[in-house]
Amino acid sequence: MSNALLDIDPIDLQFPFELKKQISCSLYLANKTDNYVAFKVKTTNPKKYCVRPNTGVVLPRSSSEVLVTMQSQKEAPADMQCKDKFLLQCVVASPGVTAKEVTPEMFSKEAGHRVEETKLRVVYVDPPRPPSPVHEGSEEGSSPRASVSDNGNNASDFTVAPRFSVDRLEPQDNPVEARALITRLTEEKNSAVQLNNRLQQELEQLKRGSNKSQSGGGIPFLYVLLVGIIGLILGYIMKKT
């Protein structure tokens, strides 16, 4: 499809419809004139779509790509038909104009500007299927083409499509609590091991001192007490590990 300023491809915006998934479709604009052409994209359902860029400039004898993204949908429409439409407006702009300099007044017919308008339909198609390992004799019918009449939509029925969209992030599992528990248990184990080593060193010192001061070979009470404490600590460590 084309108008006096731009060649537009495709003539229908086809979205391979899938539930709960953002879907994008590219729109290509080719300037077939020697003028700078400013464009603006509108839609009848601005909350459902975002367009990047929704306004811009196509340089003489060049082309531009417009990406139209449909937000994820929770329900499929009846008979997979869509009544949404897009309106592409374009107008001859001053030489050297940039996208940032495009204003709504440039597309005002009341101001005497000659605005070319092209309406585009939205068509839902089946998503691509993975290749089948079994050869099929015939491919069953393709998805039906949405039949949407013009319904006499005027430019006032369209709203400028939003430029950006924000993806909703789903909550994810957080293992912080589990990591904190593992760290605390590891620290307790290390402290118990250090205490055990220190007590063993003190026990060896007491044994050497006791052997020098006593000749009967009897076991001092403090020695027995330290052995019991060490046993309790070792049992604590075995339970933690």
| Highest mean pLDDT of the ranges 10-19, 180-189, 217-226 | 10-19
Average the pLDDT over each of 37-51, 84-98, 123-137, 159-173 and give the range with the smallest value: 159-173
pLDDT digits (tens, 9 = 90+) for 71-89: 999 988 888 899 999 999 9
Find the helix packing angle between 221-240 and 176-213, rounded to 10°.
160
Cβ neighbours of residue 162 closer than 8 Å, sequence gap 6 or more = 46, 49, 50, 51, 54
Residue range 162-181: mean pLDDT, rounded: 55
205 pLDDT more than 70: yes
236 falls in which pLDDT band (50, 70, 90)?
low
165 pLDDT more than 50: no
Residue 131 sits at φ, ψ, to 5 deg, of -60, 140
Closest to 208 (Cα-Cα) out of 200, 229, 196, 194 = 200
Residue with the larger pLDDT of the pair 180 and 63: 63
202 pLDDT more than 80: no
The mean pLDDT of the chain is 80
User: Cα(first)–Cα(last) distance of the chain, in Å?
Assistant: 74
| Highest mean pLDDT of the ranges 25-29, 195-199, 208-212 | 25-29
Whether the full predicted model's pTM is greater than 0.75, yes or no, is: no
Residue range 183-206: mean pLDDT, rounded: 78
**Percent of residues, the chain, with pLDDT higher than 70:** 73
Closest to 36 (Cα-Cα) out of 64, 8, 58 = 58
**What local confidence, expressed as pLDDT, does residue 155 receive?**
66
CA 63, 66, 72: angle at the middle one, nearest 5? 160
170 falls in which pLDDT band (50, 70, 90)?
very low
